[in-house]
Chain A
Amino acid sequence: DIQMTQTPSSMPASLGERVTISCRASQGISNYLNWYQQKPDGTIKPLIYYTSNLQSGVPSRFSGSGSGTDYSLTISSLEPEDFAMYYCQQYDSSPWTFGGGTKLELK
């Protein structure tokens, strides 16, 4: 199985700050990488698909990039509703696997 390693596991940040979350795959995944957000109430929604495509309805402050084994999610200016858990997920090779998650916390 492809292992997905997210860093950091937690990140204190301030409103308006620019943050970047990293995701590294144990082998190349050809940009087959999605990002999801999970709120404290358990609600999960997709943010980015195929590395850099913004899911419909997701604010433009979210962006994704990367290639090969290394990918990242950037939030350009944190809003109050962005403090949540974030997960990357690869779909290059079954079984699809998720990163361990990054908790974005208010500093």
Chain B
Amino acid sequence: QVKLLQSGAALVKPGASVKMSCKASGYTFTDYWVSWVKQSHGKSLEWIGEIYPNSGATNFNEKFKGKATLTVDKSTSTAYMELSRLTSEDSAIYYCTRVYNNYEDYVMDAWGQGASVTVSS
């Protein structure tokens, strides 16, 4: 079955960067977009951006341009997101998702378990 396994929790200092991973299994990694979603504590969900593993093409929420960098390693079916110049506002849980995108359908049909990032000195 489709699985997305994310890296563990991270505690990072303000101003630093963090890179998290999302290892996909159970499907052909290069056939589906991978989206990333942020959930700040007790709050709703924010779409950060997405990457198409086959080509490396990306789309971003303008709010996260310059903050998030999305990459993939096709050899290991792993997607990565790096967040830079971290502040307390970046403390959140981050989810990777697989996107099913076909004609009128765009649905995040599989989600990772989430990766917690805490920014603190």
Residues of A with Cβ closer than 8 Å to B?
A: 31-32, 34, 36, 42-46, 49-50, 53, 55, 87, 89, 91, 94-101
Contacts and interface: CB of A to CB of B under 8 A. Distances in A.
Contact of B45 (A49, A50, A89): A89
Interface in B64-94: 93
Interface of B: 44-47, 59, 61-63, 93, 95, 100, 104-109, 111, 113-114
A94 B59 contact: yes
Given A99-B44, A101-B44, 6 more contacts: A42-B113, A43-B111, A49-B106, A89-B47, A95-B61, A98-B44
Contacts of A53: 105
Contacts of A31: 104
Contacts of B63: 95
Contact of A98 (B45, B59, B93, B107): B45
A32 B37 CA distance: 18
Contacts, number: 55
B45 A94 contact: no
Instruction: Classify the secondary structure of A's interface with B.
Output: loop
A32 B106 CA distance: 8
Given A95-B61, A96-B47, A49 B107 contact: yes
Contacts of B59: 94
B46 A46 contact: no
A66 to B, nearest CB: 15
Contacts of B93: 42
A36 B62 contact: no
B63 to A, nearest CB: 7
B107 A32 contact: no
Contacts of A98: 44-47
B46 A91 contact: no
B47 A45 contact: no
A97 B47 contact: yes
Contacts of A49: 100, 105-107, 109
Given A87-B45, A95-B47, A96-B47, A43 B113 contact: yes
Contact of A50 (B61, B104, B114): B104
